[in-house]
A and B are shown apart, each in its own frame.
Chain A
Amino acid sequence: MSTTVVKTETEGKTWGGGNEPLKASYGKMMMWFFIVSDALTFSGFLAAYGFSRFKFSNSWPIADEVFTHVPFLHGQELPMIYVAFMTFILIMSSVTMVLAVDAGHHMNKAKVTIYMFLTIIGGLVFVSSQAWEWVTFIKGDYGAVGTHGGNIMQFVGPDGKRVALEDFAIADPYNVRERHESKKGLWFTSEKSLPSFTIDEVVAGFIANPDILVKTTYSDENGQKIILSRNESLTELKTKGKNVVEGANLIQNEYGSPLFGDFFFFITGFHGFHVSIGILLNIIVFFNVILGTYERRGSYEMVEKVGLYWHFVDLVWVFVFTFFYLV
């Protein structure tokens, strides 16, 4: 009915409908708004990390002493190198992604395919590196003793370098306990895996080795962990030592505050989850590119939208890198 036609008098004006005032499609805008909200989630986590760090500022572990490993270079202390490599991989995969988006603007299917493939490879290398980093952190390297108050005592030689428990602890052959598992005895109880040494064996070894000193959880004014004298070390170990801690988990870690491990696992885990989802989305888009879906659609905007997400993952890593490894 022609009489019911509504004229809003806004035709051709910016907000009159039918055009895009922000020059961005619906999908792209919504991807941006999702990214903003996800950025708030991540900053919530990082702010909580900062909160705990300010709260325990004099007993927080020093990242350079925690993440010192590089694959295939066993036993060398190389802080920062591996994580710098991971950062570079992720930035590189961001570059191939943005090159794929650019090739998409030129409707160049072959190039989009190659760049998407490289992006996926970069993502996979990053996630595997992260997995390796986790395994190394969980396994630990030297072992330490936990105190009743939840602090950590590490052991260092006269040169200030850490000494592994197995290098000085004296194993007691008559006091060997086997881990209880539900299949071995009472079926309704079980326990976590036992540390390689008991606290008594560590104390015995410590007394027998007069060179070894205790490195406390606390930092001095220069940010270095305080190393006690031999006498103080003995008192500290005998009065405060409670259990042997090897590696890291959610309850304790041999590098210091358990919160450090908790935040590390949670934040890098959440980031790793984002990377994994990103790889999955990239694979879906990759196959769609090969199948020619976007060629038929006449636009490679989907590559751009997934690209936004992928760059965001890179963006978050830049901050995680700074706050976990540098600051």
Chain B
Amino acid sequence: MADTHKLAIFRGLVKFKSNTQKIWGVLILLTLITAVEVVLGIFKPEMLMGQVLGMSLLNWIFILLTIAKAYYITWDFMHMRDETAAFRRMAVWTGVFLISYLLFILLQEGGYIGKVFANGFVKQDF
């Protein structure tokens, strides 16, 4: 078990010499991503506030960065990179499929109800 870890991230672009080194490397990456998120969250640059697919571009950037973080936590901290492909797919694809489905259904419905509240005859401001 000791040295069976895959030590490359970014599809082999960055290779680490030992597993411990890889852990610190991934920590630096995660910290960088979080720092970018925090800076964007504080300053909210005007150029990123345009609407893309129902949300501001900034929100999409946040969500993408979050998924990137989740990927590195799962792949390197939880050793998904070292598991067999079948096992990895069993856990990851199941989750990803069900969660995307649930999110799509609920957000679609929430947006619809929001429109009904805004344009319909429901009075809630009194």
Which A residues fall within an 8 A CB radius of B? 21-24, 29, 32-33, 35-36, 39-40, 43-44, 47-48, 50-58, 64, 79-81, 84, 87-88, 91-92, 94-95, 97-99, 101-102, 105-106, 147-151, 222-223, 240, 304, 307-308, 311-312, 314-315, 318-319, 321-322, 325-327
Which of the residues A23, A33, A95, A223 comes within 8 Å of B23, measured between beta carbons?
A95
- With contacts A84-B38, A91-B30, A105-B1 taken as known, whether A315 is within 8 angstroms of B23 at the C-beta atoms is no
Q: Are B27 and A47 in contact (CB under 8 A)?
A: no
- Give, as a whole number of angstroms, the nearest-CB distance from A182 to chain B: 34
Q: Are B114 and A55 in contact (CB under 8 A)?
A: yes
Chain A residues lying within 8 Å of B117, measured Cβ to Cβ, are 55-56
22 interchain pairs, CB-CB under 8 A: A22-B86, A23-B84, A33-B91, A47-B106, A50-B103, A55-B117, A56-B117, A57-B114, A80-B42, A84-B35, A95-B27, A151-B125, A223-B56, A240-B125, A311-B73, A311-B74, A314-B77, A315-B74, A315-B78, A319-B66, A322-B37, A326-B62
Which B residues fall within an 8 A CB radius of A? 1-2, 19-20, 23-24, 27, 30-31, 34-35, 37-38, 41-42, 49, 55-56, 59, 62-63, 66, 69-70, 73-74, 76-79, 83-84, 86-87, 90-91, 94-95, 98-99, 102-103, 106-107, 109-111, 113-114, 117-118, 123-126
Distance A88 CA – B126 CA, assembled complex (angstroms) = 43
Chain A residues lying within 8 Å of B62, measured Cβ to Cβ, are 322, 326-327
Which of the residues A304, A308, A326 comes within 8 Å of B41, measured between beta carbons?
A326
Interface of chain A, main secondary structure: helix
Which of the residues A22, A94, A319 comes within 8 Å of B87, measured between beta carbons?
A22
Q: Are B23 and A149 in contact (CB under 8 A)?
A: no
Q: Are A322 and B63 in contact (CB under 8 A)?
A: yes
- Give, as a whole number of angstroms, the nearest-CB distance from A174 to chain B: 31
- Give, as a whole number of angstroms, the nearest-CB distance from B105 to chain A: 8
Q: Are A39 and B24 in contact (CB under 8 A)?
A: no
- Give, as a whole number of angstroms, the nearest-CB distance from B3 to chain A: 9
- Apart from A98-B76, A311-B73, A327-B55, what 6 extra A-B contacts exist at CB < 8 Å? A32-B91, A35-B91, A40-B99, A304-B79, A311-B78, A326-B37
Q: Are B98 and A40 in contact (CB under 8 A)?
A: yes
- Give, as a whole number of angstroms, the nearest-CB distance from B22 to chain A: 9
